[in-house]
Amino acid sequence: MKTRIEKDSMGEIEVPADVYYGAQSARSLIHFDIGIEKMPREVIRAMGTLKKASALVNAELGVLAKDKAELIVKAADEVIAGKLDAHFPLSIWQTGSGTQSNMNSNEVISNRAIEIAGGEIGSKKPVHPNDDVNKSQSSNDTFPTAMHIAAAEEINLRLIPALTTLRDTLQKKSEEFNDIIKSGRTHLMDAVPITLGQEFSGYVQMLTMGIERLKLVLPGLYELALGGTAVGTGLNAHKDFAKKVAAKIAELTGLPFVSAPNKFEALGTHDALVFAHGAMKAIAASYFKIANDVRWLASGPRCGLGELNIPENEPGSSIMPGKVNPTQSEAMTMVAVQVFANDVAVNFGGASGNFELNVFKPVIIYNFLQSVRLLSDTARMFNEHCAVGIEANRDKLNYYMNNTLMLVTALNPHIGYDNAAKIAKHAHHNNTSLKDAAVTLGILTEAQFDEYVKPEEMLGPKLK
């Protein structure tokens, strides 16, 4: 393998000749050969965005030559577009400030800019990774800024649209099933009637509230640390840099980013990400409920509840011929478990700031973005391969509805709780219908029972 010699404050080091990263990235690869988890593409893209914005603002403020800024912008655009992804090989398990990944960005953009200018890669001329690409910045404010950009973009562009699509599909199912009366269930036991549409409306509202909670946490993610530099004071940055660079990032992304009002909070904590991940944890809890309900309602086909028919996507057993399983529900519940676990990591990482800096940044954003992707992809898969194909098994639903003992609840206002309980227990122990039990016990006539017990009139408040 051909190499070149690059230098940093620690001295010389060999770097592969065909890569744009430099000395500090090469040292990171040696010292942090840990695991297989790499810095997420979303963070790399965000780094490109903030480096571009910084160059433009520094040039505007007169602290960076315009020709250098133009070169940085061209190289940063390639980072944003994903053209240079192969040159970002660093592990998540590195310095907790993300310094090596910030320098990875500085080195790649510097060397690519040098190449565009016709210079020698590794020469640091005419674009220096620290003096030019990193001007007015520190790893301590760039990396948390990239974290917020990546988190906000992924929630807006990936998660909310996926949730909205699934929510809308379940809304259509709720409307489709609204005339189907079924037995409700509480404590896994028979309860009073509801419609299948009402049951699905609960799922719709869960996702609607999940979307609203995501929108609630976004303002915290729109606050950017950039301009705080090393400890939050803004040392070595122009006094107008923070506000202007946040506005430039907002312009580049189309999202309402602003400069964080207190840079000490922005560097020392990640409460906004902890809060935002809590909203995703709530969505995961909703997923768990929805997926479990769907697979249990579809259980069978001969020995389960069988109230729903779900799409048959793939064979379910290597030994039992013809078996088909509720695999989309199983995947969704596993994703929920992973998001719960990620929340623990984000919580511990977020709580672990010391003095002026939190040094758990890479593990926080890695788990955060994994949750976004898993929740988004699962919503998309569950929608395409399960929700759109859910059908009601009307025969089974009618059977359960006609045989549930909890229809007796409609008698409470007419004969009292105690007499209604006698009817239900008699019917259960003697395996008869509620009507037969009421007549046998001499509590009601058949006509009275038919007048009082009408499932279609038990679907909402009736008493005045």
What is the rounded CA–CA span in Å between residue 14 and residue 27?
10
State the DSSP H helix or E strand holding residue 186, giving kind and residue range, or none if neither: strand 181-186
Task: Copy the structure tokens of residue 102.
Answer: 């910030």
Contact 44, 105 (CB under 8 A): yes
48 residue type, one letter:
G
CA-angle at 307, arms to 461 and 315, nearest 5°: 150
Indicate which residue of 187, 270, 414, 428 is catalytic: 187
The 10 Å Cβ neighbour count of residue 446 is 11
Q: What is the dihedral of CA 422, 426, 427, 433, to 10 degrees?
A: -80
Closest CA to 387 of 177, 170, 198: 170
What is the rounded CA–CA span in Å between residue 377 and residue 260?
31
What is the rounded CA–CA span in Å between residue 2 and residue 359?
35
Contact 155, 369 (CB under 8 A): no
The 10 Å Cβ neighbour count of residue 152 is 25
Q: Is the dihedral of CA 171, 175, 176, 182 positive or negative?
A: positive
Indicate which residue of 28, 238, 259, 317 is catalytic: 317
Phi-psi region for residue 3, left (φ > 0), alpha (ψ -120 to 50) or beta? beta
What is the rounded CA–CA span in Å between residue 14 and residue 283?
47
What is the rounded CA–CA span in Å between residue 437 and residue 185?
22
Task: Copy the structure tokens of residue 444.
Answer: 């009601």
Residue 128 known to be catalytic: no
What is the rounded CA–CA span in Å between residue 323 and residue 7?
62
What is the rounded CA–CA span in Å between residue 368 and residue 144?
13
Residue 317 known to be catalytic: yes
Q: Phi and psi dihedrals of 408, rounded to 5?
A: -60, -20
**Helix (H, G, I), strand (E, B), or coil: what is residue 174?**
helix
Contact 431, 449 (CB under 8 A): no
**Active site members:** 187, 317
